[in-house]
Amino acid sequence: MDVIEHAVISEFTTPSEFTDLASIKLDIKQVPNDVEGICQFVQGNLIHAYWLEHYGVEIDISIQRTEMQTRYAKDLLSLAMSKSGQAAHTIKAPNHRVVSICRDFSLLVCSIFRMKGVPARIRSGFAAYLGPVHFEDHWVCEYWNGQRWVSVDAQLDGVHQRILKFEFDPCDVPSSQFLVAGQAWKLARENSVPAKKFGFADFKGLAFIKASLIRDLFALSKYEMHTWDIGWGILPHFMAPVSNDDELHLLDELAKVSRSGDVKQARKLIESCEAIRLPADWNTLKFPTLSELYASL
């Protein structure tokens, strides 16, 4: 590894705006150092919105959507502690965990890795193991083990194992099981896998992959978006179609960056490419809420 590559990887040991846990005074020594233990810490604080019934939990839909909107890792832990009255490192009862999505599990794992000085980042893409016949919209965390980026899916606890019956280690997800968005785009463009196989529920196809691809470049740049963030550039609304050949070719180029994990190029693109750059006056309050998104569909 050369000096430049080492410096780029080392950047992922410092927190981003969204992964910074300093303000909640978490005793990091109470969080295990091993990857499985870190995942169990996260699982003890979060519960996936679409898996509530498997844990015997019922929560009002308005509360679900409010909690799912939590954007910052520090707020995820603060809310879990508030709901349960317990410290962050304590495993909470399922009904005292924060209703979350895959992005939040990955964000919180990433936050812990970074707090422990381990390079980590989250990735937007598609999982082969969440549904029998398609690649489902998903996020994982990658950490640098000294030799390679290792994909971790902290959502996959014992309940998921019992129901999904996956045969790999969630602490080292194979690249065949999780495709970064750029790889999904390539497969769909080549028609190696039909574009309609990528997405979530009724939302599928190139328009869906397009949004995941753009969010993946932002994640590589340590701007960890929510999975429904839209409202700017070539993502003016949810499921914005590819508008013309120029945009199609641009997305082909963005997909190459996603596949390679080229951090410097990803950062250059989100700062200079007019089609995906956030406006100068942008802030997170300008992204639509989940309730606003549902109302628009």
User: If you average pLDDT over residues 261-290, what whole number do you get?
Assistant: 96
Residues 6 or more apart whose CB falls under 8 angstroms from that of 90 comprise: 44, 84
Q: Which amino acid is at 127?
A: A
Cα-only R_g, the chain: 18
297 pLDDT more than 60: yes
CA-nearest of 20, 138, 13 to 78 is 20
Q: How far is CA 122 from CA 66, 211, 219, 220, 291, in A?
A: 22, 15, 6, 7, 24
269 pLDDT more than 80: yes
Taking only the tens place, the pLDDT of each residue in 91-134 is: 999 999 999 999 999 999 999 999 999 999 999 999 999 987 78
Please name every residue paired with 135 in a beta bridge, in sequence order, or none if there are none: 198
Taking only the tens place, the pLDDT of each residue in 60-95 is: 999 999 999 999 999 999 999 999 999 999 999 999
CA-nearest of 66, 135, 125, 126 to 100 is 66
Q: What is the three-class DSSP state of 294?
A: helix
Please name every residue paired with 50 in a beta bridge, in sequence order, or none if there are none: none
Residues 6 or more apart whose CB falls under 8 angstroms from that of 223 comprise: 16, 17, 18, 270
25: left (phi over 0), alpha (psi -120 to 50) or beta: left
Read off the pTM.
Answer: 0.97
4 pLDDT more than 80: no
